[in-house]
Structure 1
Amino acid sequence: MPPEMSPTQLQAWRALYRADTLLFTHIENTLRTRLKMSYFEHEVLRALDGAGGRMRMAPLAAELMISRSGATRLIGKLEDKDGWVVRRNTPEDRRATWAELTDDGRKALDAARPVVEAVVATFFADHVSNADLHASSRILEVLADANPNDEGFDCGL
């Protein structure tokens, strides 16, 4: 059985959970209201753009921290509903499916950038000093690196 959390650990966890939930809700609601886009759809477009416009499905799923089947469903939705993404196979590797950002997808991402930046600034970054932002980034990277994104992780319960 893992050790009981200290009051400081519990307080930090609750603060992280609360802040994350509030920020996510603000971003999700604002993107949906203004652009008819979910935050996860935005993240797909952002990931593809960051990878030069295309990614194989497995690395995309890993980048998004979702299952391969979840990534496939999400890409299918973006392909069918919005035309923001297309799936392609390449002659070099017929087994691999690639997700590619379309011109409409780039336009949607460009429209979403100022919305996401405004929400993040308004509800997060404008309230914290640069020194605290740097410290928070380091702490959150340590946490992310310490927690594998796979199904084999066991917390000891």
Structure 2
Amino acid sequence: MTQPRWLNPEEQRLWLAFLRMRRAIDVAIDGQLAEAGLSPAEYDVLAPLSQSGEALRVRDLAAQIGWDRSRIAHQLRRMEQRGLVARSGSTTDRRGTLVHLTDLGRTAITAAAPGHVETVRRVLFDQLDQHDLTHLTAIAERVADAAGLTGISRTGGPAPRAAAQAGRQGLER
């Protein structure tokens, strides 16, 4: 049996700081979204729909945000009940389902987005200089790649492998 590769004190300090940072960002964003009347999951769905400017296939939306079929199906059902999104059959592929923003969904994301990006700026980007930004971006991409995260590409759209498997979040408006 292989011995665990325990963290040394410097690594443990980084790991604990990372966990605190991740939680602090989540708490700030969750609070801002709650004030805007949205859950983080709703924002995760609404943002790419808003950015696309058109309906997206459910499987492509799921791949873009890194969710599995079950999670996206349940979330879309809840959001349909709230009137934020609507689903319809694809006109080009009878097996496909499209999801699009309703007027209420577009109003919700339009109202939430400015506060969302301001929160992200305040808790993350305002704490970094250009050197930090460059290095943290490279580190984040390297770690995500090493972890095998294929759902969310570096450009915010579906990563090629995830899109193929999806046969298995945005801050811009």
Aligned to 2:171: none
CA shift digits 1:43-101 (9 cap, x unpaired): 111111233332212222222222211111111111111x2211111132111111112
Q: 3-state DSSP class of the match of 1:46?
A: helix
Aligned to 1:131: 131
Give distance in 2, aligned partners of 1:96 and 1:5.
47
Within 5 Å, which residues of 2 pair with 1:8-157? 8-32=10-34, 34-81=35-82, 83-149=83-149
Q: 3-state DSSP class of the match of 1:93?
A: coil
Unaligned runs of 5+ in 1: 151-157
**Letter of the 1:27 counterpart:** I
Q: 3-state DSSP class of the match of 1:95?
A: coil
Give distance in 1, aligned partners of 2:93 and 2:81.
24
Pairwise CA distance, 1:149:
4.1
TM-score scaled to structure 2, two decimals?
Answer: 0.77
CA shift digits 1:116-142 (9 cap, x unpaired): 122112222212212212211111111
Give distance in 1, aligned partners of 2:149 and 2:127.
30
Q: What CA RMSD, in Å, does the superposition of the two structures yield over aligned residues?
A: 1.8
Structure 1 or 2: more strand by fraction: 1
**Letter of the 1:119 counterpart:** T
TM-score scaled to structure 1, two decimals?
Answer: 0.84
**Letter of the 1:22 counterpart:** A
Q: 3-state DSSP class of the match of 2:99?
A: strand
Pairwise CA distance, 1:103:
2.4
Aligned to 1:155: none
CA shift digits 1:4-62 (9 cap, x unpaired): 23333332222222111111111111211x22101121111111123333221222222
Of structures 1 and 2, the one with the larger relative CO (CA 8 A, separation 6+) is: 2
Unaligned runs of 5+ in 2: 151-173
